[in-house]
Structure 1
Amino acid sequence: MTAHVRVGVQAILREDGRVLLGLRVNTFGHGTWGLPGGHLEIGESLIGAACRELEEETGVRATGARVVCVTDPEPLANHHMQVGVEILGHTGAIRVCEPHRCERWEFWSLDALPEQLFIGSAEVLRKIRDGALLR
Structure 2
Amino acid sequence: MSTPESDPPRPRVGCGAAILDGQGRILLVQRRRQPEAGCWGQPGGKLDWGESGRTCAEREIFEELGIRIVAGPVLCVTDMIDQDSHWVAVTYRADDCVGEPAIQEPQALADWGWFPLDALPSPLTAATLDAVTALRA
- Normalising to structure 2: TM-score of the pair? 0.81
Q: Which residue of 2 aligns with 1:10?
A: 16
| 1:109 to partner: Cα distance | 1.3
What is the CA deviation profile of residues 18-73 of structure 1, one whole-angstrom value per residue up to 9, with x for unaligned ones?
10001222x112221111011111111111000001100110012x3213233252
- Normalising to structure 1: TM-score of the pair? 0.82
Partner Cα distance (2:68, 2:54) in 1: 12
Partner Cα distance (2:42, 2:24) in 1: 15
Number of residue equivalences: 128
Show the 5 A alignment for 1:1-135: 1-15=7-21, 16-25=23-32, 27-28=33-34, 29-62=36-69, 64-76=70-82, 78-129=85-136, 131=137
Q: Is the 8 Å Cα contact of residues 46 and 67 (structure 1) preserved in structure 2? A: no
What is the CA deviation profile of residues 71-130 of structure 1, one whole-angstrom value per residue up to 9, with x for unaligned ones?
25244363322111122353222111111221221011112212201234332332223x
Q: State the Cα RMSD in Å.
A: 1.9
Partner Cα distance (2:113, 2:78) in 1: 27
Structure 1's unaligned 5+ residue stretches are: none
Q: Is the 8 Å Cα contact of residues 60 and 90 (structure 1) preserved in structure 2? A: yes
Partner Cα distance (2:131, 2:118) in 1: 14
Larger radius of gyration: 2
Structure 2's unaligned 5+ residue stretches are: 1-6
Partner Cα distance (1:89, 1:35) in 2: 13
Q: Is the 8 Å Cα contact of residues 5 and 73 (structure 1) preserved in structure 2? A: no
